[in-house]
A and B are shown apart, each in its own frame.
Chain A
Amino acid sequence: QVQLVQSGAEVKKPGSSVKVSCKTSGATFSTHAINWVRQAPGQGLEWMGGVIPMFGKRNYAQNLRGRVTFTADESTSTAYMELSSLGSEDTAVYYCARGDEMATITSSFKYWGQGTLVTVS
């Protein structure tokens, strides 16, 4: 079955950057969009953006454009999310998620990683 496994929790200083990984197993990696969603403590879900590895196509949430970068290593089926210029408002659980449909960002998020807590302090 499809599994997404994320890297472990991080504690970062304000102004620094963080890079979270998301490794896919049990399914084709490069043809499906990997999306990133975050959730601040006690708050709702926020879509950050996504990437379709095979096409190198990236979409970004407007409010994060310029601070977030999505990359993908097809050789290891691993997607990465890097967020720079961290502030306290970036403290959140970060999730990767993907759908079932190939080559489209409109596929709903059927499979989720376990989440990675990033604390900025």
Chain B
Amino acid sequence: QSALTQSASMSGSPGQSITISCTGTSSDLHGFNFVSWYQQHPGKAPKLIIYEVTDRPSGVSSRFSGSKSGDTASLTISRLQVEDEADYYCTSYTTNSTWVFGGGTKVSVL
């Protein structure tokens, strides 16, 4: 199972919005709505911020939103804040009854 495809890095200024994309195939993203996004700060465990494409766990800021179209899922971070600087990973359930992660996107807040 190949990894989902994410841009290696993105940047934005405080207050701006950025959208991270995650591209898969018919065996994963396209076929399932079990798509999640995780935020990871250096030296910390990942944190779930979006699940089932669009849902946010309790306590996660509404500035984070998710969507999906065809083979591509997206995570939008609105009103970018300094503390949003982190690595972001998408993941999808697959037809092999496995999970596959994207390679990760490093978000910098300039």
Q: Contact residues of A with B, CB < 8 Å?
A: 35, 37, 44-47, 49, 59-62, 95, 97, 105-106, 108-110, 112-115
User: Number of A-B pairs whose CB atoms are under 8 Å?
Assistant: 59
| Contact across chains for B36 and A109 when beta carbons are under 8 A apart | yes
Question: What 14 new A-B contacts, CB under 8 Å, besides A45-B38, A47-B99, A106-B34?
Answer: A44-B87, A44-B102, A47-B91, A47-B98, A49-B98, A60-B98, A61-B1, A62-B1, A95-B46, A106-B32, A109-B46, A112-B46, A112-B47, A114-B45
Contact between B48 and A108, CB atoms less than 8 A apart: yes
Which of B32, B34, B99 lies in contact with A35, CB distance below 8 A? B99
- A37, A44, A49, A62 pick with most chain B CB within 10 angstroms: A44
Given contacts A106-B34, A108-B51, contact A115 B45 (CB under 8 A): yes
- Which B residues fall within an 8 A CB radius of A? 1, 3, 32, 34, 36, 38, 40, 45-48, 51-52, 57, 87, 89, 91, 93, 96-104
Candidates B45, B52, B102, B103; contact of A108 at CB < 8 Å: B52
Q: Is the CB of A110 within 8 A of B45?
A: no
